[in-house]
Amino acid sequence: MSGARSTDGGRRTRGSVLSGVAVAIGCVLFLGGFAWGAFLYKPYTVPTNSMAPSIKQGARVLAERIDGDEVRRGDVVVFQDKVWGDTPMVKRVVGVDGDKVECCDRRGRLMVNGKPIEEPYLPDTKATGTSSFFSATVPKGELFLLGDHRVDSVDSPEHLADGAHGTVPRDTVRARVDAVVWPQDAMGMLERPTGFAALPGGISEPGPVTPLTYAVTIGAVLILGGAAYGPIAKIAARRRDKGERKAATVGG
């Protein structure tokens, strides 16, 4: 009997140590993931429907803080330019330094440097381009921007008469949108803009939203699992002790 109790005690000690380690690792992953995510990302609410269906009006997005020099074609960016308004706006970058951006070819596709761009994220309509034809060359250090819902978006073509020829400086960019986090039925990573991949500079890599999510989730599981070990072990021990006492009574 004493040998069995000694074995049980050893198991409890090892279990307590392992549960403590699990909670400690879980705290590191959970808190570290949240802290790193808060450092890298900022949430924004999209004020208009100009990025539908990729991002609908009122949606909450996670945008990675980046420098304007990191922007690539196809990126959905948060920017603020006084010519465009007083609030942060969300648009897709379709042209960068020196690009010639045109709308459109015979199939209604956007043209960048003479290359038609496939954009599967646009609304499923026959008119995939903007509400008007245009042709513009992007000045150095500037970005040409379009909304995905182009017939209902005030974007670069609408500002072609401005002094900056419809473009915005790279340094107006605050962040790059990686994911939609609300509403629930729209949650997920943004579709990759592969139509721009063949152009010089390629497209940007997705930010670390996925690994950060895994870190926070695994951390939460370890914390809950480790914390639950103590109560579960006590209940199991009481049941074993009760069974042993009952067996001893019957045997006596």
Query: pLDDT digit string (tens) for 131-147?
Result: 578 999 999 999 999 99
Is 91 designated active site?
Answer: yes
Quote the DSSP letter at residue 159. G
Residue 20, phi then psi, degrees to nearest 5: -65, -40
Task: Give the pLDDT score at 127.
Answer: 46
> Looking at 2, 42, 56, 91, which residue is catalytic?
91
- Which residues have C-beta within 8 Å of that of residue 31, sequence separation ≥ 6? 219
Is 126 designated active site?
Answer: no
4: confidence class by pLDDT, cuts 50, 70, 90? very low
> Looking at 2, 19, 42, 50, which residue is catalytic?
50
Share of the chain above pLDDT 70, in %: 81
Query: pLDDT digit string (tens) for 159-184?
Result: 887 766 689 999 999 999 999 999 99
Predicted confidence (pLDDT) at residue 126 exceeds the cutoff of 50:
no
Q: Locate 74 and state its tokens.
A: 């196809």
Task: From 59, 75, 33, select the one nearest 180 (Cα to Cα).
Answer: 59
Count of Cβ atoms closer than 10 Å to residue 181 Cβ:
16
